[in-house]
Amino acid sequence: MARNRRISPKIQFDLTPLIDIVLQLVIFFMITTTFKTAPGITLQLPRSQTAQSISTPELRVVVVSPAEIYVDKTKTDLKGLQSVLSKRVSGSDAKQIRAILEGQSASEYQLIISVLDAMRFNGIENVGLITRKEKVVQ
């Protein structure tokens, strides 16, 4: 009575190289990934030879289109701009608020004037327009 036994090999997977490769990939993607921290709006600012840097404005208005206007980080449109500005100005002296107005270089002139009118209607008179410095070719 001879028994025929098969010796089955014990298979073990060595996971150390797999873990090493996954860790290297994670580190690679962490190092090479960049995050966009800006508000996410890309504007083509007009050029100016007299552009100056302004430190920490109190009120920033970004005009993209009549349907997309941002007051600080609050999105509104041209019709709702008046109420958003009045809420923002309430409780403080509007004459003391420094405002910065950004707009596309191809924006309609009437749109920018309408935004300026809304700001003046709420008592904001100290308004600066953002431009980008023109490169001087020599």
Q: What is the pLDDT along the chain (138 residues), one digit of tens a residue?
A: 566 667 777 788 888 989 999 999 999 988 888 776 656 677 788 888 887 775 544 788 989 888 889 998 889 999 999 899 888 888 777 777 888 899 888 888 899 899 999 999 988 888 888 888 777 776
CA atoms within 13 A on the CB side of 89: 22
Q: Which pLDDT value is given to residue 57? A: 47
Domain coordinates in residue numbering, the chain: 47-133
Q: Which pLDDT value is given to residue 56? A: 43
| CA pair distance 78, 80, nearest whole angstrom | 6
CATH architecture of 47-133: 2-Layer Sandwich (3.30)
Q: Which pLDDT value is given to residue 22? A: 94
Q: Which pLDDT value is given to residue 54? A: 59
Model confidence pTM above 0.95: no
Q: Which pLDDT value is given to residue 2? A: 61
Residue 130: CB atoms within 10 Å: 18
Pull the structure tokens for residue 129. Answer: 């327009």
Q: Which pLDDT value is given to residue 26? A: 94
